[in-house]
Every structure is written in C-alpha cells, then in structure tokens.
Amino acid sequence: MKINSYHSVKSIEEAYKLLNDNKQNAIVAGGAWMRLSSKEIETAIDLSEIGLDQIVETEDAFEIGSMTTLRQVEKHEGLKKHYDGALSNALSHIMGVPIRNVATIGGSIIGKYSFSDVLTPLVIMDVELEFYKKGRLSLEDFLVSKDRSKDVLVKVIIKKEEARGYFKKMQKTGLDFAVVNVAVSKQADTIKIAVGARPSLVKFAVEAMAFVNGAKEITEEVILETAEIAGKELKFGTNSKASESYRRNIAMAYIKRGLREVTV
C-alpha cells in the first residue's frame, strides 16, 4: 500500500467530505488489512481522534463505534454473555492479541472479507450499521448490497435480546484463516444458521433454516436433516486450505453441534 498524504479528521462530516473529494482517498481504520494490499491512497483519512472507539450499552442495544478494536469488543462484559458469547468467542480466535488490538470492527465489516470470523457471528444476531449519510441499514442488507458510494461507517448496533448462540471455526493453526466457520442462533422460536469462509462470503443456509423453523419439535432427526439440507444448498469451494467436500462435511458437523447446543 502506498499513502501519499495523511489526515486525522476532527469530525465525521470532515471525513465524509474528504472521502468523496477524490476517488483515491480512503479511510484507514486499524490499517492492518490495508497494509497487505497494493492500493495507492491519495489521502488516508484517520478517524482516531473523534471518539468512535467506544462501546455504549443502552437498555436495548450495544452501540459499537466503528473504530473500536476487535479486542475491546471481545473483552466487553455484556457482549461476552450476548448469544452465549458467540461474538467474543469468534474474535478471540482471530490471529493473536496484538492484531486484535489494532484491527477495528468497522474495517472488519466494510471489507466484507470472505474469510471473516467477524461477519459470521454478527449475521445471526440483529445488527444494524449506521452510516453518516446513508443512515441505518441491516448488516444482512449491507452484505448483499451492490451500492459502491463512499460513506463513513459510524457505529454498529447490536440489539439486545434473549437468545442462544454458537460459533465454531476450523483453522489449521492459531494464525491461519478459517477453513470454514459456522454460527447458529435461536432467538424466540427462530433458528438462524450462517456459514462463512466457504471460502466465499458468509451466507445463510436458507432452506435448512426454513426446514428447522417449520419443524414441530427439534429432534435429533430434525437436526441431522437440517445439516444435510444445509450441506446440499450451500456452495463450497476448494483452495489451498481445504477441498470443497472437506469444507462441506466440517460445516455440516458444526451445524449439528450448533443446533444441539442452542436447542437444549
């Protein structure tokens, strides 16, 4: 990555203006991932000085500033309990502490990384993103949106709700990307199943979810059938980390475990 100039902004408005001043201007959050790219940035816009690195817990939500580090999110006492700690658990297995002290929640969402261990647990929760100009939209909508207009992500809002949650990833070493990752949740009577690092972007197992949510009772047979349906409907791929069928089988095993955990 090449950066020609650097500017630490004093307001979100200033960041937004600068971002749209020049195609090659970009926000640098932690800057950890951008470092590995070959991009040329005209002006790097730093949001460090405008207080976006806090987690505010309200009565009905956790509002996480976009510059909050993954480590701050992982260690937050409230989030450690939310959905049985699925998000904290997922974050605690990303690289080591030093990278999680730099990488931010905002950079992890905007990047829409196919290998992400951040998006998979988030997508099974009720999550909204607040952008400076575009306002609020759900994480789900953001992930499928083709809108390329440049905006500043201000905060990530995780709604508080009574729910069970599960996250599991397969990785070869502590510093490697996930071979595949799975998150399962049960909120009221609705079960969600998401599979990431397939190796493409996280996706819901829509047909499997329809099946399990339509079942009168979650028996072991229903769990096995749900995993089968998910294995069939989701696309998996082969790369240097694992083959398509290996990923599929691991994902199915984790889906079964997840369903058992969230339904007991």
Partner 1 sequence: MKVNLLINGQKKTFLIEAGDYLLDTLRKQNYLSVKKGCDNSSCGVCTVLFDGKPIKACSLLTAKTEGHEVTTVEGIQDEADKLSDYFGQEGADQCGFCTPGMALAVHALKVENSNPTDEEIKEYLTGNLCRCTGYQSQHIAIRNYLEDK
- Applying CB under 8 A, the residues found at the interface with partner 1 are 1-6, 8, 28, 30-32, 35-36, 41, 44, 46, 48, 71, 92, 95-99, 101-102, 174-175
Which residue, 33 or 236, has its beta carbon nearer to partner 1?
33
Our measurement of the distance from residue 93's CA atom to the centroid of its chain's CA atoms, rounded to an integer in Å, reads 13
Other CB atoms within 10 Å distance of the CB of residue 123: 22
Total residues at interface with ligand FAD (CB under 6 A): 30
CB of 136 to ligand FAD, least distance (A): 14
Does residue 106 interact with ligand FAD by CB under 6 A?
A: yes
Chosen residue from 104, 185, 187, 226 binding ligand FAD by CB under 6 A: 104
Q: Which residue has the tokens 């480590």?
A: 71
CB of 83 to partner 1, least distance (A): 21
Other CB atoms within 10 Å distance of the CB of residue 39: 12
Q: Which helix (H) or strand (E) holds 14?
A: helix 12-21
Torsion of CA 198, 203, 204, 205, to 10 degrees: -40
Helix (H, G, I), strand (E, B) or coil at 119: helix
Sheet containing strand 163-171, strands side by side: 163-171, 178-187, 190-196, 203-204
State how far the Cα of 60 lies from the Cα of 260, in Å rounded to an integer. Answer: 28
User: Who contacts 164 (Cβ-Cβ below 8 Å, separation ≥6)?
Assistant: 83, 84, 185, 186, 187, 261, 262, 263
Chosen residue from 107, 121, 165, 199 binding ligand FAD by CB under 6 A: 107
Q: Which two tokens stand for residue 63?
A: 């509002």
Residues 44-63 within binding reach of ligand FAD (CB under 6 A): 47
Does residue 153 interact with ligand FAD by CB under 6 A?
A: yes
Phi, psi angles (nearest 5°) of residue 214: -90, -10
Which residue, 36 or 264, has its beta carbon nearer to partner 1?
36
Check if the beta carbon of residue 207 is closer than 8 Å to that of residue 239.
no
State how far the Cα of 132 lies from the Cα of 48, in Å rounded to an integer. Answer: 16
Does residue 88 interact with ligand FAD by CB under 6 A?
A: no
CB of 223 to partner 1, least distance (A): 29
CB of 2 to partner 1, least distance (A): 6
CB of 72 to ligand FAD, least distance (A): 12
CB of 69 to partner 1, least distance (A): 9
Chosen residue from 3, 95, 222, 224 binding ligand FAD by CB under 6 A: 95
Partner from partner 1, ligand FAD, none binding residue 8, C-beta < 5-8 Å depending on class: partner 1
Q: Which chain residues interact with ligand FAD by CB under 6 A?
A: 26-34, 36, 47, 66, 70, 94-95, 99, 103-104, 106-108, 110-111, 115-118, 152-153, 177
